[in-house]
A = this chain, B = another copy of it.
Amino acid sequence: MKSKCAGKQTLVFSAPPQVISSAAIVGEMEGQGPLGSYFDEVLTDDTWGEDSWEKAERKMFEQTVRRALEKVSLQTGELDCLLGGDLLNQIISANFAARELKTPFLGLYGACSTMAEGLLLGSMLIDGGYASRVACAATSHFSTAERQYRLPLEMGGQTPPTAQRTVTGAGCSILAESGYTGQMLYRNVFVAAATIGRVIDLGITDASNMGAAMAPAAADTLSTHLSDTGRSIRDYDLVVTGDLGGFGSEMFLELCKDNGVDAERRHLDCGNLIFSGSQKVDSGGSGCGCSASVLNAYLLERIEQGDLRRIFFMATGALMSPTSGMQSESIPGIAHGVVLERK
């Protein structure tokens, strides 16, 4: 790899792009969770006035981008590129939102790792000198995910304790070149580096235990990142995983230990943060919108305020589909990571 690369999979940004704004919109249940007061909008109707859940999901994606731009008085036409995706087949939420936003658009599919994949590529667009301002966004919706991946909600099917609840939510970050002089919501948050994940599969076949399917990929990306950069876990205030949930987080910490990394006291998981123990959500939240909304509502604000100086934000994706499951395939996972720093 070349000068801007550290080790095997890590990109180091020589002029770290700045996160100048963000927004997050979530569903009612997410709004009732511990982070409720941080979100820009909490829906009270899960169709948000649209005639389908899918159209509501698309509206969340679009409105989150518009909201993040409005906070810093930017127009959609001032964006050089929008990068994003969602969990629906053919990423229709992102595609149809991009149609309304009319910006140049790069569609991504990284399952629940999409927010980190977007930040990684968006930062490269800016640091590489190809763009001045980009938006990175991701969304998911409980009811569209259930309809597509599982069974009709009307059946009232039971879930095992390892199951996670797909978050109804969307998040968007606006990145700008280092030294940006326009209006800013955040002045201190930079993307310093990023690690591209590999697809890892330890043979998990239980679609109700996706945290376990993603944990090996998260442990692999974290180890690679530390080895690529020559850092230790103590160089980070937090390692934040996307949506491993309760069981997946335990497995992640065990696997890290096997790799010689003791992440226990420095680890938080967005799937654990977004719902409280008293909400009936089995093993926590999941979905692209989980890490996207927690990052863009809560984590960026904590970095801006100085509570956190450097975090490794590692969104995790389970890469199965109903078709691959029916064809007896196990569930591979991937985790992309970005280093967010206060400067």
Contacts from A to B (Cβ < 8 Å): 1-5, 8-9, 11, 51-52, 54-55, 80-81, 85, 87-92, 95-96, 98-99, 102-111, 117, 120-121, 124-125, 127-132, 148, 177, 196-201, 319-324, 327, 329, 332, 334, 336
Contact = CB atoms under 8 A, between A and B. Distances in A.
A197 B131 CA distance: 14
B89 A321 contact: yes
A199 B4 contact: no
Contacts of A336: 106
B117 A124 contact: no
A313 to B, nearest CB: 17
A90 B111 contact: yes
A124 B120 CA distance: 12
Number of copies: 2
Nearest to A224: B104
Given A2-B177, A95-B332, A129-B2, A321 B90 contact: yes
A1 B92 contact: no
Contacts of A197: 104-105
A5 B80 contact: yes
A11 B130 contact: yes
A2 to B, nearest CB: 5
Residue among A4, A8, A90 with max Cβ neighbours from chain B (10 Å):
A90
A54 B328 CA distance: 12
Contacts of A54: 323-324, 327
A127 B1 CA distance: 12
Nearest to A3: B129
B327 A52 contact: yes
Given A1-B130, A5-B131, 18 more contacts: A1-B132, A2-B177, A3-B129, A5-B80, A8-B104, A90-B320, A90-B321, A92-B324, A95-B319, A98-B198, A104-B197, A105-B197, A105-B199, A106-B108, A106-B117, A108-B109, A127-B128, A128-B128
